[in-house]
Structure 1
């Protein structure tokens, strides 16, 4: 278990420094304001953190709602192919049923993920220049236009363009929301808050499945257009609240606007809040990466010798999600069940039920990320998912019966619970905490791009793998996902550090001195103020 000790003197220095001894300890020399603030952060209980930071957490809740919208939008565009009227209007008759050609399914997925990646690329420099608030406002406007195209389209080509335009703002939402939430959250609940972004996405998915189920009561084009119309309601709520959203103090400090940062912190906290300490903590985190340059840093900086491992860990946290079978089980479940002979109504009911299981699993993740830690949650979760996918694949090979299908559905339910309790939720704190403080926005953008790129590989492959007129792999695709997860388990063991209970400046220091990631939890960081005499022996620092 990592620990933090504190010794104080009256003297201080302008910037922190580090000394390392041979006893698995590091001495972090901090200025007075920073040492005081970090000591307070480590001493706070969850209840105290919630009481002291309730206003910032309300605005984290706003980003939570943005992620609900993201989850709904992302799902609506993919599950629409399970609606018969959509397949009639945009597909062709194949035997006794209607299907959308694998080529157009591929095109729709490619358009969505291309938009997602473009949004991820664009949002980094735009946020660095405009800030979180103005950037997300622009994304809302683009989202409205994209939904308009999807709602009124009459040909596959028009739907393709709508998917492309809608994907762009979703890339911005996926980047800005977790970044903002991590910057506004106190240490005691930071893991739960950033992990909660995934819960919001799951809730958005669940709402999408619920709307999908209700859409079955409509006839004609309304049966699938209602899926898109609901998105305007989400944007309307978000736009109404946006003018009151406070800008992140991290962005103000990066722009050398300390007074504005102080003003935001004063509005968000009581008069007794340690604003000087908070500013010192932000500056310290940025200073570790020589933030004295200009503002938020660039994509190129994310891959220099000092940052590439950190960026790689952050990106892999989201890549693992797509290697674990998420695109198949979440996006194709109802379609998979219908191809297996289940009625559309029953398949919709089942997907709503499994989506509910995902919500429960994600609620459990709030406990797991703090109890098992980020690394432990990811490692154990990947192991269980590996087994679940193998069982699904083996059952698909062993028998072609109702009993075998039922067994696969049960394992999908287990997969859904474990995925959302572990891999699905922990990616957000792992990415936000390991990304360099001064590069958090471009690093999160790269995570969005990596997520979209790997998801697009499956988006392009799955139509050919599962369509009855193509590969028709059914549950046997679990073998492929299990093999990829085995690689991911090895990566997590050697490269993902435990960041639970560490402030951002401490995480920066541990990366800087090169502590092996798998040994972070046993490495002791001793914080003293400048001017304190340091005594080294076999027992003490």
Structure 2
């Protein structure tokens, strides 16, 4: 069963997806830059003596700022599945945008680290709604041939958000007053209202409409999503309806327990693996790039400049990923990306372990940029493609939300460790953290090698059949499915 046959250029649905992820990326990257702002450090930090004398945000507060948004998002992704199943992708996103507009006020007017942390936690709830729904919605409104490229643009959204953050914080990093961080916070209001208007006029997923018995609306949505003839649209509708009927025969009303029943357990575990791998293979360095560059020995101003360069290079890598998803298989891209980053991370640890000088400092900074580039061109975008394709149609909203929640369960303690490793008030390991992230990248590689199936060029019907037949991951690509098969 193929997905809807349509031409994405006809509508603004991809822009809606992109803008939501850009907004979330912008919000999440802000904290990673705040802790590197001199004015913010002087306002809320403590003085650190010794060779690296100066002000620094205490490790516990730095961890709290980084983790607050993730904790809120953890709540959001669990809410996303039930809310989306009830009111649809459009209205769930609109609800998130209204909440975002409201919660930004708390962060903007915060006059202490405690209030700022609370504000970030509350902002995290709508982030969870966005990130749970975006890959699912993207996979349901584009044709199979464009599924990989469209879902890969979600990683590009993160790069665009990081570029905006890098530019804003670089422009204000030399200010000595509160505008150094309040103006970047205020820029968050640029996104929700215009995006809310766009989403209001966007089409609902026809898959969601069919699952809820709203067949006339589903057919209209299919018409909006392409330039097909009436006959082709009706054929597409009939195929989608049959896929939903087959899946409903395997289960009635939805619950979280369905995610761990039968073959859906395997699909849920793969989704969780993909989400968790985004942090275990070097991405935490990218999320705290400016602070990492400072700890590697760069001056504050140069660290912000290097962060801007890093963000732009990530955008270039995202564009390259479009061609990679067309030329290579999902599994191949993921495995090579994980292996490359594992190697680079261990080299980073070695560079930080030898006697330090300007050369080793620049080597660590360059390796940080290269690791971010590799992630943005391989692991990051391909993970979204795999996530969008792995779960069954009827459980997709729940599966994506739980997968992202699993990511946060792994990410929250990892953020704490990352802050402890980099902060001068913590373990002050700088580039030696490469040993840790290199080890976790190796774990991702080994796990994916044995359990990650190849889903490229497979329709949702074929994917269902392969999982139901319990085909081993390494045989997904070679297994032939007859057009008459339904189980």
TM-score tier, shorter chain, comes to over 0.9
| Pair 1:276-2:276 in alignment | no
Secondary structure of the equivalent of 2:481?
strand
* Residue equivalent to 2:71: 114
Deviates more, 1:276-285 or 1:64-73: 276-285
Shift of the alpha carbon at 1:337?
A: 2.3
Q: Encode CA deviations 1:435-467: one digit per residue, 9 max, x unaligned.
A: 111111111101221222222112222222221
Matches within 5 A, 1:330-349: 330-349=286-305
Q: Secondary structure at the match of 1:262?
A: helix
Q: 2:10 matched to 1:55?
A: yes
Q: In 2, distance between residues paired with 1:151 and 1:204?
A: 18
Flag the 1:292–1:255 CA change in 2: closer, same or farther, 3 A: farther
Structure 1 residues 399-438: aligned runs within 5 Å: 399-438=355-394
CA distance in 2, matches of 1:140, 1:318: 23
Partner SS for 2:477? helix
**Whole-angstrom CA distance in 2 between matches of 1:356 and 1:333:** 13
Matched, 1:290 2:248: yes
Matched, 1:256 2:210: no
Between the two structures, name the one with larger relative contact order (CA 8 Å, sep ≥ 6). Answer: 1
The aligned residue for residue 155 of structure 2 is 198
Distance change (3 Å), C-alpha of 1:470 and 1:53: closer
What is the CA distance between 1:529 and its match in structure 2?
Answer: 8.3
Provide closer, same or farther for how the CA distance between residues 528 and 419 of structure 1 changes in structure 2, counting only shifts above 3 A.
same
For residues 377-406 of structure 1, what are the alpha-carbon distances to aligned partners after superposition, in whole Å with 9 as ceiling and x for unaligned? 001110100110011001111231111111
Any stretches of 5+ residues in structure 1 without a counterpart? 1-33, 42-48, 531-541
**2:18 aligns with one of 58, 61, 64:** 64
8 Å contact from structure 2 (residues 56, 425) kept in 1:
no
Output the CA distance in 1 between the equivalents of 2:249 and 2:430: 51
RMSD of equivalent CA atoms: 1.9
Distance 1:285 1:214 in 2: 52
**d(CA) in 2 for partners of 1:264, 1:525:** 29
Q: How far apart in 2 are the matches of 1:191 and 1:267? A: 21
User: What TM-score results when the alignment is normalised by the length of structure 2?
Assistant: 0.95
Q: Are residue 226 (structure 1) and residue 183 (structure 2) matched?
A: yes
SS of aligned partner of 1:201:
helix
1:140 to 78, 93, 97: 97
Structure 1 residue 470, shift from structure 2 partner: 1.8
Query: 8 Å contact 1:255–1:294 — kept in the other structure?
Result: no
Q: Distance in 2 between matches of 1:307 and 1:351?
A: 40
Of the candidates 521, 524, 538, which is equivalent to residue 477 of structure 2?
Answer: 521
SS state of the match for residue 55, structure 2?
strand
Instruction: Spell out the pairing of 1:414-493 with structure 2 (5 A cutoff).
Output: 414-493=370-449
Q: What is the TM-score normalised by the length of structure 1?
A: 0.86
User: Does the Cα contact within 8 Å between 1:125 and 1:442 map onto a contact in 2?
Assistant: yes
Q: Deviations over 1:489-541 (max 9, x none)?
A: 111111111111011111111111111111111112221489xxxxxxxxxxx
Cα-to-partner distance string for 1:327-357 (whole Å, 9 max, x where unaligned): 1x21222112223432211100001101111
C-alpha deviation, 1:238, in angstroms: 0.6
Which residue of the other structure, out of 83, 93, 97, is the alignment partner of 2:54? 97
2:461 equivalent to 1:501: no
Contact 2:38 2:173 in 1 (8 A): no
Hey, what's the Cα distance between the residues in 2 that align with 1:109 and 1:411?
23
Post-superposition shift, 1:288? 4.2
CA distance in 2, matches of 1:426, 1:397: 32
Q: Report the Cα distance in structure 2 between the residues aligned to 1:320 and 1:198, rounded to whole angstroms.
A: 14
| Contact persistence 1:370–1:500 (CA under 8 A) | no
Separation of aligned partners in 1, 2:141 and 2:362: 44
78, 85, 105: which is aligned to 2:39?
85
| SS of equivalent residue, structure 1 residue 522 | coil
Out of 362, 370, 378, the residue aligned to residue 318 of structure 2 is 362
Bigger CA radius of gyration: 1
Deviations 1:282-322 (A, max 9, x none): 23433443368566x22211111220111111111111111
Matched residue count: 482
**d(CA) in 2 for partners of 1:265 and 1:405?**
54
Task: Judge which range, 330-339 or 340-349, deviates more.
Answer: 330-339
* Aligned equivalents of 1:525, 1:90: Cα separation in 2: 61
Contact kept? 1:288, 1:508, Cα under 8 Å = no
Secondary structure in structure 2 of the residue aligned to 1:500: coil
Deviation at 1:216, TM superposition (A): 2.2
Does 1:76 pair with 2:34?
no
- Select which of 96, 111, 124 maps to 1:154: 111
Compared CA separation, residues 364 and 291, structure 1 to 2 (3 A): farther
> Is this contact kept in 1: 2:32–2:289, CA < 8 A?
no
Distance in structure 1 (CA, Å) of the matches to 2:39 and 2:161: 23
Contact 1:133 1:245 in 2 (8 A): yes
8 Å CA contact 1:379–1:493 kept in 2: the answer is: yes
**Of 175, 178, 181, which residue of structure 1 is paired with 2:132?**
175
